[in-house]
Structure formats: C-alpha cells, structure tokens
C-alpha cells in the first residue's frame, strides 16, 4: 500500500537561507518549522528532505560536511519540538557548465532539481505515492520538480520564495499554492489531504 509524502527542501524552508554554510553551527531553523514538521509526524505523514547541495561539487567542502549539517538540522528539529524527518535525500552533484569542479561530484545527475531522481528514489524505497504527495520549496526548481513528478508544488515565501514570485530569482513558475512559511503550507496540506 503506497502512502502520500511531504517532501521538504532544506535551505530557506527548514533552515534560514545563509548561502553555503561553511560552519555547522551557522545552521539555524526558521521559527515555527519544528512544530510544523511535528504536526506532520503526529499525523504519521511521511516527511522527507530533498535538497540540492552542490557545495562538494564546487569544492567548498566535503560530503561529510553536508552530512554534519543534516545531523545538526535533525538535532535542532528534535530539540525544539520532538520532530523528525523520516528520510533525507540530497544531491551533491553538479555538471561542469553549472560550476562543478571536484571530479568526485562533477557530473550530470537525475537527482539534481528540477529532475525527479530524489523523489523517485524515495518513492521506490519507502512505498510512496508521488501523485498524492506534496513538495514544499522556496525556488522555482522545487515547484518544477514537483510538477515533473506529478506532485503538488508549494512555494514558501521564506528563503528565495518572494524573489521567485517577483521574477528576481530563477524563473517564473506556477506553484499550486503560495504560503508565507512552512507552518501555513502544512495547514494547507492537511486541508487538501481531507479532499484527496
């Protein structure tokens, strides 16, 4: 029996957008996100991180640093609200034209948003129904990935969300819903799940 999921981007959705985070202690949660994730947990909705993390490909830091950032993220979610992510997926790869320099991580990848590789992998490994699932992100590429996989795409106005809407960042996209932050997005998801 497949189940719906809520896929969450990381930077600008869960933690405060701070560019490439070189020091683990500089990762800080956006206010209210831990409680929002906990609400998903309490309803037993599968909650999954999906994040482009090109720092290793750009040679800024190693893959182990990305994993350390994710440990801090999970620790902060748990400490603040007893919240947890059911799975974490991220893409450390970047193609040469996009700026990849480290040979270990410089390649084209189906996992890099707006491609759907991370969603497909999660669905395969955890029996998820992508057509009943939601993606919450702050970039046009998050919404595009959602639609490419048949998910509902929600744009939050934290992070780069407002810049996407104004046309100042990336490109115009057509989110299924625009929320000021993750907490409002989660409430809307619950409303939709009542009608799915």
Active-site residue numbers? 9, 11
Tally Cβ neighbours within 10 Å of residue 82.
13
Distance (Å, rounded) from C-alpha 136 to C-alpha 189? 10
Q: Residue 55 CB: number of other CB atoms within 10 A?
A: 22
Answer yes or no: are the C-beta atoms of 55 and 27 closer than 8 Å. no
Helices (H), the chain: 33-42, 55-58, 63-81, 117-126, 140-148, 161-166, 182-193
| Token pair listed for 19 | 């560019």
The pair of three-digit structure tokens given for residue 151, joined into one six-digit string: 């998910």
| Calpha distance 195→85 (Å, rounded) | 25
> For residue 127, what are its two tokens?
């029996």
* Binding annotation for substrate: 9-11, 17-20, 51-54, 112-113, 139
Q: Are strands 87-91 and 152-156 parallel, antiparallel or unpaired?
A: unpaired
Cα–Cα distance measured from residue 157 to residue 134, given in angstroms and rounded to the nearest whole number: 16
Known binding-site residue numbers for Zn(2+): 91
- Looking up tokens 């482009």 gives 52
Annotated binding-site residues read: 9-11, 17-20, 51-54, 91, 112-113, 138-139
């Amino acid at each position: 029996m497949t189940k719906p999921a809520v896929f969450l981007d990381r930077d600008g959705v869960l933690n405060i957008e701070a560019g490439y985070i070189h020091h683990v202690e500089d990762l800080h949660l956006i206010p209210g996100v831990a409680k929002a994730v906990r609400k998903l947990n309490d309803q037993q909705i599968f909650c999954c991180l999906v994040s482009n993390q090109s720092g290793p490909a750009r040679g800024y830091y190693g893959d182990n640093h990305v994993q350390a950032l994710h440990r801090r993220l999970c620790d902060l979610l748990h400490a603040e609200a007893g919240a947890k992510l059911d799975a974490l997926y991220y893409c450390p790869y970047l193609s040469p034209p996009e700026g990849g320099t480290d040979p270990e991580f410089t390649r084209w990848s189906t996992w890099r948003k707006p491609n759907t590789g991370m969603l497909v992998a999660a669905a395969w490994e955890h029996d998820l129904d992508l057509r009943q699932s939601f993606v919450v992100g702050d970039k046009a590429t998050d919404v595009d990935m959602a639609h490419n996989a048949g998910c509902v795409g929600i744009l939050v106005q934290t992070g780069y969300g407002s810049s996407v809407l104004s046309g100042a960042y990336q490109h115009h996209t057509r989110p299924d819903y625009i929320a000021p932050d993750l907490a409002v997005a989660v409430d809307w998801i619950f409303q939709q799940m009542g009608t799915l």
